[in-house]
């Protein structure tokens, strides 16, 4: 255990966050997401929700301020203008926890998968609500 570090941040997840550089991306994914087959390292967090992991990650990782879309979620298939409860939760966490809050942008499902394939890592959570996936772009600490 470490002081002032959320215990949800496992050694593997802390290592990934620390190894990431400016502009690298990390995916926080729900239980249905193809985390292992998508490509990057898959860090398991089955006992935590995506909401819990997002809050913990943002407690130590800055969001990128050099882009307009440092937080991306998957658009609802068949209803791209819909905002799922999970995305509303993500936005609330970003607004209250992130060092540089930003409005979440959406990507079409397959565009989201392609972007996730290029991420530094994927954190597969136990989130059972649909559309509990978010990509975060790491910023800098000045």
Name the active-site residue from 5, 12, 21, 22. 22
Contacts with 98 (C-beta within 8 Å, 6 or more apart), sequence order: 58, 62, 63
- Active-site annotation holds for 22: yes
Active site residues: 22
């Amino acid at each position: 255990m470490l002081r002032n570090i959320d215990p949800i941040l496992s050694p593997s997840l802390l290592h990934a966050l620390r190894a990431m550089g400016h502009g690298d991306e990390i995916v926080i994914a729900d239980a249905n997401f193809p985390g292992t087959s998508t490509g990057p390292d898959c860090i398991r967090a089955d006992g935590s929700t995506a909401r819990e992991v997002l809050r913990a990650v943002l407690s130590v990782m800055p969001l990128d301020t050099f882009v307009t879309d440092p937080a991306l979620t998957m658009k609802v298939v068949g209803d791209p203008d819909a905002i799922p409860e999970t995305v509303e939760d993500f936005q609330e966490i970003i607004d209250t926890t992130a060092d540089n809050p930003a409005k979440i942008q959406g990507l079409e499902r397959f565009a989201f998968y392609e972007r996730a394939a290029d991420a530094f890592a994927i954190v597969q959570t136990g989130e059972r609500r649909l559309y509990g996936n978010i990509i975060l772009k790491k910023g800098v600490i000045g």
